[in-house]
Amino acid sequence: MSHRVSTPDNRVVVFLHSGEYDRVHQGLSIAAAATAAGRRVEVYLFWWALERFLMDRLDEPDFAGREDVADRFEARGMPTARALLEHVRDSGLGTVAGCTGSLGALGSESKAGDSGIDVWLGWSAILQRTAGVTDRFYL
């Protein structure tokens, strides 16, 4: 199976703001599918999504008030958010970036060093890095 060579024009950018497990999972599913197709992916973490990463809450699906979905999720062997993140990282095509403003607002600067997040950026740098990318997803 051949993969398409990635160019700056076909990058995929995922902005994760919500920390709800379904949204984080969906964003990482998009990222994993893109890397499987040979595309570069940049995942940007803000606010509650950043907090979920900093608190290392990527393994257990927690769908508030929807235990039926959590049970079905597990019964079907669906990958966890962590498994999707590992796929993105293992591909060599993905970058996970954290927002410095969100980090400060959360008061979590002490957790930044051990977070596993590849790069910390503010909005000016994020806008420069993502200029011209058409495949953007905001969750």
What confidence score (pLDDT) does residue 103 get? 97
Judged against a pLDDT cut of 80, whether residue 7 lies above it is answered with no
Q: Coil, strand, or helix at residue 15?
A: strand
Distance, in Å, from the CA atom of 71 to the CA atom of 61, rounded to the nearest integer, reads: 9
Structure tokens, 49: 């999504």
**How many percent of the chain have pLDDT more than 90?**
77
Q: What is the pLDDT of residue 62?
A: 80
Average pLDDT, integer, range 99-127: 95
Pairing of strands 41-45, 135-138: unpaired
Smallest CA-to-CA distance from 125 within 104, 100, 108 is with 100
pTM (2 d.p.): 0.89
| Rounded Cα gap, residues 58 and 81, in angstroms | 5
